Structure 1
């Protein structure tokens, strides 16, 4: 059996385990007809899966979480008044860092989370996308690729970034390595789609923060965009929940906005990175970062059919989150059907 077949078999096994969990939790009548031995096997498999998913990053031998002071650096708070302790902190590359994926659909808050992580740890974060705008703004790990071992986490949007008909199960499985420790960042799909549509329709140095006329949210091009992105949002979330074979940390953008320091500390614990109270104090006093869009939370461009799609997609993802004992995603009340 080749590598692709083995990987896919693992993915199928994890899916079967999740389905088994559904049966154990919600179809008790079926269990009455199974033997105690079979129930014991299912319980042990489920416990193994849960223990793995809810564990923390197991850092590779030699990964001592030390920065490389010979490589380029960036002062994240260099605009502070002269004499501020935050002015002296630098972000740098590491050496031999254990790979950890940061997975989300675009415009779910991954750039802001990267800013918080870089400020809190002093390590650059990486990306699959080589965004020159982010690099010029101080995310020097942006051009470092996914496998160099010099960045703390590596961002990917899976197949959702390409907005093509990449719904093939095997393509999606191979695009994001299921063996790597993963941070899954989830945002209410309606809000993420609004932000992504803005960036999708903008060019230039301010595409991450500028607004577009509300009239651009009308027409068939936006309706098609919503339908495609809703599907991709659910695919990315369910793929990671069903296929991850390593530690998985789920964080909701709404929780990050509500209490960023609490969520940041939880991510640091998942990564097994010591908490530097001096850096964390500077993060707390420089919370915004460079790429947070000033958007109205009341704008609603969606038709009823789209709101129903959001509700159903969030409901299905929440069912998996509940089965795997992760916090549930709250849908924006203004977008519920």
Structure 2
């Protein structure tokens, strides 16, 4: 009986001690979380010199860009990332028109760094606004930005001239599917990607071709056709041509630094082999045949309309080489 009583007393003391310890740990965790949250809020609401105006916000949005680029700055010590601003005069309203997944965000980054003038958008993506595109939502001051992003044909008639960014449909559709499933930088599973592309394939092809037809047959202003693949592989030359089309004065040094610091804030890491395997996995049978026809139709229309010699069938060799 006495032994049983001692066991019960020991059990009560043990429970009391453990309960106290648990409450102590829980309190400290909550306290740490609160401090973390407060510091995050403090950082996101901080403006230069305590100023909360829109002008100060423009420059504070660039802080995240510098945090991850120490290594690049050391490598290219003569170049630095620009804080972009609005033009001090009104510019021709110029569209950066593209099918989603064609590299629009990266192209905007390059042009901002080359010219020092901000870009805008017919949309309003707060994540982009906070990550290097401070004029993303400045709709009332679009005429003071160098380019205005759009993915839709309804916006096209409002522009005076257009930079039409075109990417081969194989990679463009795949990039859009990745973005829809995992945002700007993650890589979703191959099976989920194929399922999404198969389910939306007809709509996406129609959207892709609709932009090409609208640009070639209905827009009457000046157009510069910028092929994404050419921008990647011959960047200096393409940036020089774009600057002339936009009517902006840039130096060779501006272009050189843009090339050296070309990496944007939204980049999805993968390897060439993995990418080829993914293309091979997704594009098969009728879908492959349809996207081949789309690539041929689009390149023929653009080549005829603007006297070009571009090819939108680059990934075909990579796809078929894995099947030999």
Q: TM-score of the superposition, structure 1-length normalised?
A: 0.68
Residues 74-223 of structure 1: pairs in structure 2 closer than 5 A: 74=62, 79=69, 80-81=73-74, 84-87=77-80, 89-95=82-88, 96-145=90-139, 148-158=142-152, 172=153, 174-177=154-157, 180-202=160-182, 207-219=183-195, 221-223=196-198
Q: In the superposition, relative to structure 1, how do residues 224 and 88 fare at CA in structure 2: closer, same or farther (>3 Å)?
A: closer
Does the 8 Å CA contact 1:101/1:153 hold for their aligned counterparts? yes
Match of 2:311? Answer: 329
Q: Quick one: which of 292, 296, 319 aligns to 1:311? A: 292
Does the 8 Å CA contact 2:108/2:119 hold for their aligned counterparts? yes
Say which is worse superposed, 242-251 or 81-90, in terms of deviation: 81-90
Pairs aligned (count): 249
Indicate the structure whose relative CO is greater, using CA pairs within 8 Å and at least 6 residues apart. Answer: 1
Q: Quick one: which of 189, 199, 222 aligns to 1:247? A: 222
Q: In the superposition, relative to structure 1, how do residues 312 and 83 fare at CA in structure 2: closer, same or farther (>3 Å)?
A: closer
Per the alignment, in what secondary structure is the counterpart of residue 97 of structure 1? coil
Does the 8 Å CA contact 1:127/1:145 hold for their aligned counterparts? yes
| Greater percentage in helix | 2
Q: In the superposition, relative to structure 1, how do residues 218 and 297 fare at CA in structure 2: closer, same or farther (>3 Å)?
A: closer
Q: TM-score of the superposition, structure 2-length normalised?
A: 0.70
Q: In the superposition, relative to structure 1, how do residues 101 and 330 fare at CA in structure 2: closer, same or farther (>3 Å)?
A: same
Q: In the superposition, relative to structure 1, how do residues 217 and 175 fare at CA in structure 2: closer, same or farther (>3 Å)?
A: same
Q: Report the Cα offset of residue 284 of structure 1.
A: 2.0
**Is the radius of gyration larger for structure 1 or structure 2?**
2
Match of 2:283? Answer: 302
Say which is worse superposed, 324-333 or 71-80, in terms of deviation: 71-80
Does the 8 Å CA contact 1:77/1:89 hold for their aligned counterparts? no
Q: Over aligned residues, Cα RMSD in angstroms?
A: 2.5
- Structure 2: tracts of 5 or more residues without a match: 1-54
Distance in 2 of aligned mates of 1:328 and 1:136: 35
Q: Quick one: which of 229, 249, 257 aligns to 2:232? A: 257
Distance in 2 of aligned mates of 1:251 and 1:88: 23
Q: Report the Cα offset of residue 236 of structure 1.
A: 0.9
